[in-house]
Structure 1
């Protein structure tokens, strides 16, 4: 057993080293892959108003040693790290390490504040299920409408709304900058509320399975009060959700670029994006290395915390985790499902009958009326038309990306320690940086942006799959199946996949709005479909500056995004839970 554990640790370490090396090498090649002269990009970043001459470009190449190629730069940069030298910025000429460390401190502080908000929101969402389950009054999983609605809130739009209302109108908190503890409140809310909704939705989905386990029924039969069940049940359910909580919050260190821009926060994500756009390699490489190290630290922390929550069960095979009960769907869920579908279908059909590209400068930013039911944008284009024409494209691409990311995540989550190391390294990589790397090879396109999101979007599903498989392999009924002669294919089909897929699909459904918005942000930066493509996320990004002046320009796309998320959550395949329960005879569950 000790030898197997040691071998697994070595494979995980090798996976981390390989993934980190590949990532840093890819970043080192970015200026040369982009198709643009690195000297030209650096010179324009230094002095955008001047037209560069051939002599100036030659001087920049000689100064930076660009003729040597990317590998000598990477080796030289790595050689300086042990001495605390991360190089100097190609644009400003200032030492890189102090500015990166300062940005990291800001981002980590914001991350900790976001963690508090995330935990609070997740607790509020799952409190009802925890209360009813401990009192044996749980009748269904619930539709997850609240979690899906909050998870669908665009972070940058929520940030703009909070800054306008609580920063400008009411003056309760600073609307921007980084001047003290009060500056953390609004950004933490903008980042923590959607993240907490995702975690809360996953926990709310896991708690019914926990309250259906034999030990709960035994405790209840022994006369334990309901309050005595809350702590162990929560501890049991958190073991499967924890791999999503810590990496999701840590990934905000580099992935909160949009919110950092709204509040003018000098964080690490913003620094990495600015360096990538300017092809300023030393700060970009240093920020990428710190993000990878943060991901590894988060993975090790999750592993340690899960060991504390579960105890010796994973080591000794004593974890009892029978299938969750097959709970019926409430009638109200069907009404929610039908209502969302009708509204989205009506908007789509009505919008398809209008021209989304017709520009009327005399009708700029008109409020909703009979002629324009959802108003017009800054160019006088009909918002209903753009919303309807973008519905199929938005939903189709987002669903395809989510499905691909889920499949990749499940496969890599089943790969063992090597996949674990790869997941940790890439979990904190900003999608924008992945988009720059992908676009450098494929060029700006919708599918290039989709590939960029897939490049980093699989990590939450891989972490969740690995955690659930670890728990499932320690169960008594799995050992009983093996003793009855079950082979790997039978275990995978009848035990492991049914234990993993429902929770992973639920996670994917809750993250669907995030996928839509990440795709939109890549397009907004010129890494995806160019304007004037009528795509929901792009509509939000384009109309964000007019949130205070013309709120209807963002209200339509935001509501459509929420309705799509609720529709997906309410229609998620809950019948898989019943199928899984049917595969385990009651006598076998009692025996194990």
Structure 2
């Protein structure tokens, strides 16, 4: 049974992780190399259109482009040529502009890394604010109830591109506090850092806030209370105990701040790596896309190694010696007001859906374009004069259904892969670097644009946060003393998994999934907005946000409705999770 209790990382494990990173990276780069041929469009036509916006090129022009780019040689020949030039510092030239690729990617990466550092500062600050009350009460032994994390759910549900538009309009244009466009100096990074860091910090802080009560009820904490240690020492040790389980969530967060911040970069006109990769993918500029993808992969692997080293440094010898106390414990009673919060959110959502279903979502009234809320149109109208309440109600089931299905598949996949961390560690780091937009382009090239193609793209990349979390929590649980005692008493692998490991991982995984639910809705919306997912005029919440985002300054009510619905859905999900834990504990 010693094979089920790995406390130290040996050479075979390291080599297996290295092999996983190499194989996953090679597979990703190969898939990117196939994109122009998978898309179903003539690569020569796409490149020529990106060069000159010529919609009807002649056969002679197309033949010249094919010969110039060597498209008849196939994708593998291009990939081999590109890889052969990398050791010499040559990443090729852009198919569209004809300029060297490496300086473009280097410049964009430096911009994105600077923005990432600013966003990380905001993320840490918001996470600290979210869990500050729990730390204060727990350190003084005043924590008596589980908190639902509704504040974190509200902030995490804020759409980043809507928040970016509001910050650019209010703080940039109206008040003139910071630049609202361009990348000219340190002041230019303030507003985009806030737009990226506030939702990310709320998610990280919410996970930490939900893990802290277990740390404050461990034996060491009770001993510290009894001997009268200062609260600041107890708070510090509790944070050190819970941070390793949350740190893996920084990996997809860091990568999302670099490669997935396309919408924010476009709103603030920032020449970052995510924007460069998206433009290259749309134009099928293969050398630029491959180099940008490689930069993201290297960044993700480096971040994964740093996070793994930080986790082991925080846990120290107990992780190696198998003497960690378990963080799994029965749930405390949630606040009584939580039932009222959950009930109010359910009533509001049900009322919106029922009222919207009674209206026609496709009726266009050109005389009532961008009308503010009134008795006739309680949520106002959009740019085509369509009733927003009707579109919100008719899009509720589709939005919630697809997002829940994607979240469930991603969480289960992540849990299964997290159970075999030795084999999945490297793959998780590489997949976490793949922006959902790029995955959507690859899948749409095979299946065509559809809502389920977009859902598949999100599933392809969406399992990595859950796998990282599961692997981290399992590593800590396997190093706890009660696991060693169970093994000594003859417990088998099935018993350990069913009675000890899964009960310690699944509740935290579920809370993570519920916090990420609004993000899933928005990622699906971004794919639909790019023509890779849900197609208009089908009503869908995320698409309502994307379609109405350009009008946020002129008609803010066009985004307030779907954004508020996302917030209410998120709070309801988190509240239901807390009430479900209480019911399961009583049972």
TM range (shorter): over 0.9
Identify the match of residue 73 of structure 1 among 56, 73, 78: 78
Indicate whether 1:406 and 2:411 are aligned: yes
2:127 aligned with 1:118? no
For residue 318 of structure 2, what is the aligned residue in structure 1? 313
1:19 to 21, 24, 35: 24
Question: CA deviation digits over 1:518-576, x for unaligned, max 9?
Answer: 00010010001111110000000100111111111111001000000000011115654
RMSD of the alignment, in Å? 1.4
> Distance between the aligned counterparts of 1:115 and 1:316, measured in 2?
33
Question: Hey, what's the Cα distance between the residues in 1 that align with 2:400 and 2:585?
Answer: 29
Residues 20-63 of structure 1: CA distance to partner in whole angstroms, max 9, x if unpaired?
01000000000000000000000000010452000000000000
Of 247-256 and 321-330, the range deviating more from structure 2 = 321-330
Please name the residue that 1:99 is paired with.
Answer: 104
The 5-angstrom pairing of residues 150-549 of structure 1 reads 150-549=155-554
Q: Distance in 2 between matches of 1:284 and 1:234?
A: 40
The alpha-carbon distance between structure 1 residues 487 and 457, as it changes in their structure 2 partners (threshold 3 A), is: same
Distance 2:434 2:312 in 1: 26
Give the corresponding residue for 1:135: 140
Whether 1:64 and 2:69 are equivalent positions in the alignment is yes
Query: Tell me, which stretches of 5 or more residues in structure 2 are unaligned?
Result: 1-5
Kindly state the Cα deviation for residue 248 of structure 1 after the two structures are TM-superposed.
1.0
Q: Secondary structure at the match of 1:315?
A: helix
TM-score (norm 1): 0.97
Counterpart-to-counterpart distance in 2, 1:414 and 1:327: 27
The 2-side partners of 1:2 and 1:238 are apart by: 18
Partner deviation per Cα, 1:327-361 (whole Å, 9 max, x = no partner): 10111110100000000000000000000000110
- Which of residues 547, 555, 563 is equivalent to 1:550? 555
Shift of 1:3: 9.7
Aligned mates of 1:84, 1:187 — CA distance in 2: 32
Question: How many pairs were matched up?
Answer: 582
Taking structure 1 as reference, are residues 224 and 4 closer, same or farther at Cα in structure 2, changes over 3 Å only? closer
CA distance in 1, matches of 2:342, 2:583: 20
Query: 1:60-108, CA deviations, whole angstroms, 9 ceiling, x for partnerless residues?
Result: 0000000000000000000000000000000000000000000000000
| TM-score of the two chains, using structure 2 as the length reference | 0.97
Does structure 2 retain, via aligned residues, the 8 Å contact 1:325–1:581? no
What is the rounded CA distance, in whole Å, between the counterparts of 1:578 and 1:530 in structure 2? 41
SS in 1 for 2:395: helix
Structure 1 residue ranges, 4+ long, deviating more than 3 angstroms after superposition: 1-4, 573-582
Equivalence for 1:588: none
Match of 2:3 in 1: none
Report how far residue 580 of structure 1 moved: 7.5
Deviations 1:199-241 (A, max 9, x none): 0000000000100101100111112122221111111111111
**Secondary structure at the residue paired with 2:143?**
coil
- For residues 574 and 209 of structure 1, do their structure 2 counterparts lie closer, same or farther at Cα, with a shift above 3 Å needed? farther
Q: Secondary structure at the match of 1:571?
A: helix
TM-superposed CA distance for 1:581, in Å, is 11
